[in-house]
Amino acid sequence: MQREADFFRKPEEGDVAEITAFKRECQECGSGMDGTGILVNCDAREWLLYNEKMENREDPEGLHCLQYGLFREGDGRLLGLLQIRLELKGYLVNFGGHIGYCVRPSERRKGYAVKMLRLALDICRDKGLEKVLVTCLEDNVGSAKTIEACGGVFEEMVYDDRNYMANLKRYWIIIKKGL
C-alpha cells in the first residue's frame, strides 16, 4: 500500500491531460487558480517546462519555487495544485506568501487543501524554512479555515492594490522541526 504522500508529487509529462482538464474546469467555473503559477496563461506542456525552470533557477530574475499536485489513487485524477515559493520577493512579500494552492472546483470541501498544505509544510521544513506566510482573500472562509487547521496564526489584514483589489488575510505558520 502506498503512503498518502506518494500522490502529492511534481506534475510530469504524463499528467498533461489531467492538468488541461483541471485548468478547463477552473476556467468554466470562474475559479481563481492560485498556486498554479502561470498555468492560466499557457498550455500544460509550457507550464511543465516553466515549473522545471523555476525549480532549477535557470532564470535569475525568476522565482525559486516548486510545483506539486495532489493526484487521486487509482484513476490519477488531479485534485489540486500547490506552489511553494522558497523565497519571497516583490508581490509575494506582502500579498502572495510562500504557498499558494487551488483545489479542483468539483473536489472542494473534501479536505484536499488541508492535506496539500500539511504535505507542503513538510517540504518547506526539509528545504530549511522555519516559518511560512500564507494568505487568502478576506471572504474566502474555506481557505482561512484550511490555513488555521494547519497552524496558521493571523497576523493582519492588508489591501492588495496590485492584483485582487481586495483585502487579504496574512497568516504565519511556524514549521515544527522533525523528530
Which residues, 6+ apart, have CB-to-CB distance to 64 below 8 Å?
54, 55, 57, 85, 86, 87
Task: State the pLDDT at residue 1.
Answer: 32
Q: Residue length, the chain?
A: 179
* Residues 111/153, Cβ–Cβ less than 8 Å: no
Task: State the pLDDT at residue 62.
Answer: 73
Residue-wise pLDDT tens for the chain (179 aa)? Answer: 334 445 999 999 999 999 999 999 999 999 999 999 999 999 999 999 999 999 987 666 778 999 999 999 989 999 999 999 999 999 999 999 999 999 999 999 999 999 999 999 999 999 999 999 999 999 999 999 999 999 999 999 999 999 999 999 999 999 987 65
Pairing of strands 78-85, 65-71: antiparallel
DSSP H helical ranges for the chain = 16-28, 44-56, 91, 112-126, 141-149
Task: State the pLDDT at residue 58.
Answer: 64
Against a cut of 0.85, is the pTM above it? yes
Whole-number Cα distances in Å, 90 to 13, 19, 124, 162: 30, 27, 20, 11
